[in-house]
Amino acid sequence: MSEPAAPPPSAPPSRNPGSYDELHRRAQDVFPMVFEGCRVAVQKGLSQHFQVSHTLNISPNMTGYKFGATYVGSNVQGPGEAYPVILGDTDASGNTTATILHQFGPKWRTKLQAQVQKGEIAGAQGSFERRTDLYTAGITLANTNILNDSGVFVAQYLRKLTDKFDVGIEYMNSYGPRMPGGCFSVVTTAARYTTPNWVGAVAISKASLHASYFHKQAANLAFGIEFTANAMHGDAVTTVAYQAELPDEGVTFRASVDTNWTVAGVLEKRLSQTLPFTLALSGMLNHQKNAGKFGMGLIIG
* Mean pLDDT, range 291-296, rounded to an integer: 94
**Please, what sign has the CA dihedral across residues 69, 74, 75, 78?**
positive
| Chain centre distance of CA 270 | 23
Is the pLDDT at 155 greater than 90? The verdict is yes
The CA angle 29-27-77, to the nearest 5 degrees, is 60
Q: What is the pLDDT of residue 13?
A: 54
Half-sphere exposure of 52 (CA within 13 A, CB side): 6
> Which has more confidence, 274 or 279?
279
Least confident segment among 160-169, 260-269, 283-292: 283-292
Q: How far apart are CA 43 and CA 218, in angstroms?
A: 31
14 confidence band (pLDDT: 50, 70, 90): low
The pTM of the full predicted model, rounded to 2 decimals, is 0.86
Assess whether pLDDT exceeds 60 at residue 6: no
pLDDT at 23 over 60: yes
Length of the chain: 301
Alpha helices, H only, the chain:
25-28
- Residue 77 pLDDT > 90, yes or no? no
Question: Over the stretch 111-150, which tens digit does the pLDDT of each residue have?
Answer: 999 999 988 888 999 999 999 999 999 999 999 888 788 8
End-to-end CA distance of the chain: 9
Which string of b and e fits 246-262 if b means at least 16 CB within 10 Å? Answer: eeeeeebbbbbbbeeeb
What is the signed CA dihedral for 39, 45, 46, 49, rounded to 10 degrees? 130
Q: In this predicted model, what pLDDT tens digit does every residue of 33-59 receive, in sequence order?
A: 999 999 999 999 999 999 999 999 999
Mean pLDDT estimate for the chain: 91
Look at residue 31 in the predicted model and tell me its pLDDT: 97
Query: What's residue 64's pLDDT?
Result: 92
Of 174 and 105, more confident: 174
Domains present along the chain, CATH in parentheses: 20-194+241-300 (2.40.160)
Percentage of the chain exceeding pLDDT 70:
95
1 confidence band (pLDDT: 50, 70, 90): very low
